[in-house]
Amino acid sequence: MMRTRPLKVALLGCGVVGSEVTRIMTTHAEDLAQRVGAPVELVGIAVRRPDRVREGVPAELITTDATALVKRGDIDVVVEVIGGIEPARTLITTAFEHGASVVSANKALLAQDGAALHGAAEQHGVDLYYEAAVAGAIPLVRPLRESLAGDKVNRVLGIVNGTTNFILDRMDSSGAGYSEALDEATALGYAEADPTADVEGFDAAAKAAILAGIAFHTRVRLDDVYREGMTEVTASDFASAKEMGCTIKLLAICERAADGRSVTARVHPAMIPLSHPLASVREAYNAVFVEAEAAGQLMFYGPGAGGSPTASAVLGDLVAVCRNKLAEATGPGESAYTRLPVSPMGDVVTRYHISLDVADKPGVLAQVATVFAEHGVSIDTVRQQGKDGEASLVVVTHRAADAALSATVEALRKLETVRGVASIMRVEGE
């Protein structure tokens, strides 16, 4: 039997995502009520610019006083889609203090202060859900937190930023340079006017921190994630990748060490074989590859951003939290019992593709090979091309620690026959 008294919802933010959340809650109110077991009523929307035209958003719900809204004692759930650290953090903790559960899409805040927010939610007996913070419409947080709760996840490898994937896909498919591909992404609305958070990997790093924490039941903060952007990727890198039967993606990689005693979390461009499922992810789509001990290999694919996809994830969390409210219960909170340390990037072991500009003369290859051997980095393949006294030398290594590879590159730079290091690219997904 359905409860007649509605569950009351406050919305913080009414931009692209917030407007779509409002539209769905309004147009699908009856369906939501049936799924929850009670009516779900949107009772207030906090915004910074009240005079802005918002089609389909009831004007009587608009307020500029977000603090007063979350302090109302009758609010059951607060939906936060304003982003950033403050005032979002204060508003969320205030909502907890006044008995409201929170649904958030705020990856930056969760990556930085997730442990404190989970602690505050637990203290006040409410929920904190954030499916929309990681991969838009793709169900990922809940499968990791609930469906795979009885399994042991060893690796999470994914494309979690649609803007960078669109740019790299264009560079791969059309031969465009980075700037040209970025201009196209901006014109189509895939890239912001300031794309730094996307192309420099900050967005993906925040998502990697969240995913690693959930997957490995430990606390991983944004500062723990190694981050490298993709602005230095060139058409030449793609040409080299194609010669190896690979393409290039900006990847978020979270791994449990082989001995199980530590984890790593990193974001950087990498070559992946065309045979790997992530290689076929095109345009602005996202995909995450999960490797678990019992379940094996799982792949989650779909639109990772945009108003409608993100709103879909928000509404999924809203339904779940509302059901918990009716049951006078809470869902899964933070699971950090393993307390595994996060290893530095220098300890990460992977393969590398290194392109060197060298003198075209006898003995150069032997000198380069000696440097690799002296630093304990084994060479898999070498390709050399030369003309008019100059040459390029492409070395692909076997798996080696990042610190060993870095020391190798520094030693190579000191060789008189090495004119420069054109590029260094990690090789993943094998």
Tell me the pLDDT band of 366, cut-offs 50, 70 and 90: very high
Could you give the residue numbers annotated as active site?
Answer: 207
Q: Residue 10: CA atoms inside 13 Å, Cβ hemisphere, count?
A: 30
Average pLDDT (222-243) is: 95
In whole angstroms, what is the distance from residue 289 CA to residue 306 CA? 21
Q: Decide if pLDDT at 389 tops 80.
A: no
Other CB atoms within a 10 A radius of the CB of residue 244 amount to 17
Q: Decide if pLDDT at 406 tops 80.
A: yes
In whole angstroms, what is the distance from residue 402 CA to residue 345 CA? 7
Tell me the pLDDT band of 139, cut-offs 50, 70 and 90: very high
Nearest to 298 by CA among 156, 152, 103: 156
Q: Say what the alpha-carbon torsion angle 201, 207, 209, 210 is, to the nearest 10 degrees.
A: 170
Beta carbons of 179 and 187 less than 8 angstroms apart: no
Beta-bridged to residue 244, according to DSSP, are none
In whole angstroms, what is the distance from residue 336 CA to residue 40 CA? 32
Average pLDDT (56-80) is: 96
Write down the pLDDT at residue 237: 93
Write down the pLDDT at residue 361: 86
Alpha helices, DSSP H, located in 175-329: 178-187, 196-199, 202-216, 235-243, 307-326
Looking up tokens 């390029």 gives 392
Average pLDDT (275-286) is: 95
Write down the pLDDT at residue 289: 94
Write down the pLDDT at residue 67: 98
16 exposure class (CB count in 10 Å sphere: 0-12, 13-18, 19+) = middle
Q: Mean pLDDT across the chain, nearest whole number?
A: 95
Average pLDDT (81-86) is: 96
Nearest to 81 by CA among 286, 318, 329, 287: 318
Alpha helices, DSSP H, located in 307-361: 307-326
Q: What percent of the chain has pLDDT over 90?
A: 90
Write down the pLDDT at residue 384: 86
Q: Decide if pLDDT at 54 tops 90.
A: no
Q: Residue 209: CA atoms inside 13 Å, Cβ hemisphere, count?
A: 25
Write down the pLDDT at residue 387: 62
Q: Decide if pLDDT at 171 tops 90.
A: yes
Q: Decide if pLDDT at 1 tops 70.
A: no
Average pLDDT (269-297) is: 96
